[in-house]
Amino acid sequence: MNGDVGLPAFLLLGALMFVCGAVCMATKRNAIGVLMGVELVLNGANINFVAFAWFNPLFRVEGQVFALFVIVMAAAEAAIALAIVLNFYNNHTSVDVDAAEELKG
Amino acid sequence: MSLQQALFWIVASLTGLSALMVVLTQNIVRAAAWLLFALAGTAGIYFLLGSDFVGAAQLIVYVGGTLVLVVFGVMLTAQGPFVNLKAGAGEWAFSLLIGIALYATLAVATLATAWPASDPPPADYRSTANVAALGEAFLGIREIAPVGDIPRVYPPRNRTRVSYLLPFEIVSVHLLVVLIGAAYLARAKRRRVVSEAAA
């Protein structure tokens, strides 16, 4: 139980994490910094899932199940993204995302 | 102010501050440390929301697994102890403008919406949201079709047992394939260097 803390407080916290992740993806030039932004975005969405699961008794199990799926997907995404970053670093000796311009049209 | 409220504000301010510092700090190692606090604070939010298993999974998978991967990535791609890859001031200003506008939109939408009054029943939450209920939902044992006031969406005679066993299997095989692919992608490819050293 969380007393008088209502649903909008949790949604605002989730929105804050989402926006922080989006700005992080936009402003970091380090590829791993971009990856951290993705993690923040997924966590913001997960807070919304769990908050709705708690405040809507009809979907108390579903919200947690979706949150667990998102956590597993985030782990897979982090693994594959870090492999790509390591490969990129082996080829360019840099993790600057601005250095990836071979495919520039 | 009740204890739950105080706990929420402490954990939420820690989480929000850490998320902000991930964005604002320029050092990638410090960003990783702030991300650790943000993810741990998120796990605390899950515990406050009565989702024990999701909070534990967050701590184990995110804080214990994903963040260690990220830190290893930072260490393996370090070009120097304090390399700063800074974005330009114009990019910062534009991104902050977009971010503030996005947050204002989300906040207005959240606060302007009349959420249906749904008080979480304290008496039965242990019987509906614990780990056993979650496991039964994954296996499809329990009938978890909604029984509330939306009978047109879920008519009672069509109420079936909803199982998450197939998505669970798909996600586990997906994780296995992704990890094998990541190990293949990130393997050390230094054949040229080795042949030069041997020659």
Q: A7-93: which CATH topology?
A: Helix Hairpins (1.10.287)
Specify the 3-state DSSP secondary structure of A100.
coil
Per-residue pLDDT reduced to its tens digit, B91-128: 899 999 999 999 999 999 999 988 876 655 554 554 45
User: Cβ(A54)–Cβ(A14) under 8 Å?
Assistant: no
> What ipTM is given for this predicted complex?
0.90
Give the nearest partner residue to B178 out of A35, A62, A80, using CB atoms.
Answer: A80
Cα–Cα nearest to B16, from A10, A42, A49: A10
**Best residue in B49, B144, B166 for a mutation probing chain A (most A CBs within 10 Å):** B49
Q: How confident is the model at residue A93 (pLDDT cuts 50, 70, 90)?
A: confident
Chain B residues lying within 8 Å of A56, measured CB to CB:
116, 118
**CA atoms of B86 and B89, how far apart (whole Å):** 9
Considering Cα of B12, then B17, then B23, then B28, what sign does the dihedral take? negative
pLDDT, average across residues A3-16: 86
The kind and range of the H/E element at B16 are helix B3-24
pTM: predicted TM-score of the whole model, two decimal places: 0.84
DSSP per residue over B63-112, as a string?
A: IIIIHHHHHHHHHHT-SSTT---PPPHHHHHHHHHHHHHHHHHHHHHHHH
Residue ranges with strand state E in chain A: none
Per-residue pLDDT reduced to its tens digit, B84-94: 567 788 889 99
**CA atoms of B38 and B21, how far apart (whole Å):** 9
- Domain B1-79: which CATH number of 3.40.50.620, 1.20.120.1200, 1.10.10.10, 1.20.1200.10: 1.20.120.1200
Query: What ranges do the domains of chain A cover?
Result: 7-93
**CA atoms of A21 and A41, how far apart (whole Å):** 5
Query: What ranges do the domains of chain B cover?
Result: 1-79
Chain B residues lying within 8 Å of A23, measured CB to CB:
23, 95-96, 98-99
Q: Is B193 on the interface with A (CB under 8 A)?
A: no
